[in-house]
Amino acid sequence: MPRSILETLVPLVGERLEALDAAWEAQPEEGRRPTLPMTDDGKVNVRAFAVEVCGLTQAQEQHFYKKPELAALVNSVAVRQGVKPIGARALTDVIDKAAKDRLGRAQSDRDDLARALAEREALIERQRRTIASLTEQIRLLGETGMVVRTGDLT
């Protein structure tokens, strides 16, 4: 009697995967379609594989998620056939979180840059007013010889 579920499932799953892989290999190379059951979004359909292909119960499909040895067997064929492997959603969630974090940092950087730009534009406008005032004072000095006293221009 087998001591663990793996001793029962690994040979069975290996045998079924070999049959599916052989069927995939038998297809013409330019028109090959995956022989592993897939979900609509291109991932391995673990339930269909466990129940329909291997003849297991729905309760036993959990082993494909909990036992890395089983997932690795299926994933090796999945990758070869161009199907997203078991656990692809978890990987996608990690990638989505990383992208969301990068977007958050980019938004923060954009806000900082927008604030710095507004400050620079205000400084440039003050400098333009100062230049205009000084230009007018020089013009008056040239025309009349009169020095104009002003307070702080800023």
Q: Considering the domain boundaries, does residue 138 fall inside one?
A: no
Q: Considering the domain boundaries, does residue 146 fall inside one?
A: no
Q: Considering the domain boundaries, does residue 127 fall inside one?
A: no
pLDDT attached to residue 126: 96
What residues make up the domain containing 80? 5-86
Provide the whole-model pTM: 0.54
Q: Considering the domain boundaries, does residue 32 fall inside one?
A: yes
Q: Considering the domain boundaries, does residue 96 fall inside one?
A: no
Spatial contact of 89 and 46, defined as CB atoms under 8 Å apart? no
154 residues of the chain, pLDDT tens digit each: 456 787 888 888 889 999 988 998 899 888 889 899 988 888 888 899 888 888 888 888 888 888 888 888 899 899 889 898 887 666 566 667 777 888 888 998 999 999 999 999 999 999 999 999 999 988 988 888 877 776 665 5
What gap in Å lies between CA 44 and CA 63, rounded to an integer? 14
Spatial contact of 20 and 13, defined as CB atoms under 8 Å apart? no
Q: Which amino acid does the sequence have at 86? A: I
Q: Considering the domain boundaries, does residue 12 fall inside one?
A: yes
Number of domains in the chain: 1
3 state SS of 152: coil
Q: CA 8 → CA 45, 60, 122, 128, 154, distances in Å? A: 21, 12, 75, 83, 85
